[in-house]
Amino acid sequence: MVTDRYVRERMMLYAQNNPKRYAGWAALIGTIFGLPLGTLLAVVLEGWPLPWPTALLPITGMGIACGACPATVMFYSLRRIKPLPPDTDLAQLRTALKLVGVGVPGADPATNALAARVAEQTLSYPQWTKTITVGFLGLTGLGVFVTVQRIQDDNAEALQSGAFTLYAVAGLVLTQVMAARQNRNATKLRDAVLHDNTPRPNEEPER
């Protein structure tokens, strides 16, 4: 069986040129994965066995949070960028993505130009920094509140809610650090390509 080496690149081009369809698939897949996460959240908050139907609230909420919300944000974000041509060379795009990731141009001018376009796309995506921070802080506050209540009640499930709180804090920190690094490297590469005055073959150096 032959494995496609460029799955990420194909998905990227498809998403940019078909934002509605991509958002629809993302909503479906996100909901499918969100339902078991909602069940886990219900267990953490309400204990086991689950008191139906009150457990449907966190389960349904997590399904929506992992499905409809990310898909809506994704569609809005994709509509704000200038898509790459559908026939973009996949191997060249893979190299360009790597260059954007490290923030350093390569040796090929054409690939560098593509990397600069990808960097512009990266910087055009809404950052949603405040929204992400508020969301994770809300989850953290909820986890701390539940954990404190269970500790005061000598509830053995306090460990579960404490672990949930640590997970929320770690998610917030990791998300913000990765986003900041990505934007920083994209800016470095874009500026390096735009200000690149290195003589090319068959070009006379400036005097």
Which secondary structure element, helix H or strand E, spans residue 156, and what is its range? Answer: none
Output the pLDDT for position 65: 82
Q: How far apart are CA 166 and CA 44, in angstroms?
A: 13
Q: What is the pLDDT along the chain (207 residues), one digit of tens a residue?
A: 344 688 999 999 999 999 999 999 999 998 888 888 788 777 776 676 777 777 777 788 888 888 888 888 888 888 888 899 999 999 999 999 999 999 999 999 999 999 999 999 999 887 777 777 787 788 788 888 888 888 888 777 778 778 878 887 888 888 888 888 999 999 999 999 988 755 444 444 444
How crowded is residue 114: how many other Cβ atoms within 10 Å of its Cβ? 22
Is the overall model pTM greater than 0.85, yes or no? Answer: no
152 is written with which tokens? 């005061």
Which secondary structure element, helix H or strand E, spans residue 170, and what is its range? Answer: helix 158-194
Output the pLDDT for position 67: 86
> What's 5's DSSP letter?
T
35 close to 62: Cβ distance less than 8 angstroms? yes
- Largest pairwise CA distance in the chain: 80
Q: How far apart are CA 25 and CA 32, in angstroms?
A: 11
- Pick the closest to residue 30 from 57, 61, 68 (CA basis): 68
Q: State the distance between the two ends of the chain, measured CA to CA, in whole angstroms.
A: 56
The answer to whether the peptide bond before residue 201 is cis (omega within 30 degrees of 0) is no
> What's 206's DSSP letter?
P
Output the pLDDT for position 200: 44
